[in-house]
Amino acid sequence: MQLVVASQNQGKLKEIRSVLADSGIEVIGLDAFDDLTVAEEDGETFHDNARKKAVAIAEQTGQLCLADDSGLEVAALGGKPGVYSARFAGEGASDQQNNELLLKKLAGVPDAQRQGAFCCVMALCTPEGECQYFEGRIEGRILAESLGSQGFGYDPLFYVESHGCTMAQLPLDEKNRISHRGQALQKLVVAVKSL
């Protein structure tokens, strides 16, 4: 079975391929197609953005499509960056720029008040626009400095209490098992096997 994933983020595609490796599902990224129009992520929720992206690509390719919208919600920032996680420091911002802005906004916030959560909503949509949703969430704490070199995005700042390290210090297979995206993907695998 082939599954088009509406993402050009190679880190995200690597995670998805790793989780689905034994499922019999072949993951195809957007780089396998020419001239696709990617939906603008202008929704107010993770659900909105995931659906928009999946439906747009499913319609254009005529294939089942998976899209996710995920991000970091920080309690001390009123849930921000949220749906703006990838562009927190501006359109086209690098991971480093987003992390620097996060640290700047949290300057002076005590450790006990630096709770955060990675949230993920995945939409699996048909070319006809029928969608199923899969969600995942992991709680953690935002550190004052980066630790680890694995992963991407805010992983080096996101400390997972149960594992005593950041997401960027976890081996990929363990990260995929516990992460917000990993949780959503595990639910997806169960659903796809029942199709």
For residue range 6-18, list pLDDT tens digits in order: 987 787 888 788 8
**Per residue in 117-132, pLDDT tens?**
999 999 999 999 999 9
Strands (E), 55-114: 65-74
pTM: 0.88
**Which secondary structure element, helix H or strand E, spans residue 62, and what is its range?**
none
pLDDT band at 183 (very low <50, low <70, confident <90, very high): very high
Catalytic residues: 69
Higher pLDDT, 151 or 80: 80
Model pLDDT for residues 98-157, shown as the tens digit of each residue: 999 999 999 999 999 999 999 999 999 999 999 999 999 999 999 999 999 987 899 999
Tell me the per-residue pLDDT of 20-56, one tens digit each, with 9 for 90 and over: 888 788 899 998 998 899 898 899 999 999 999 999 9
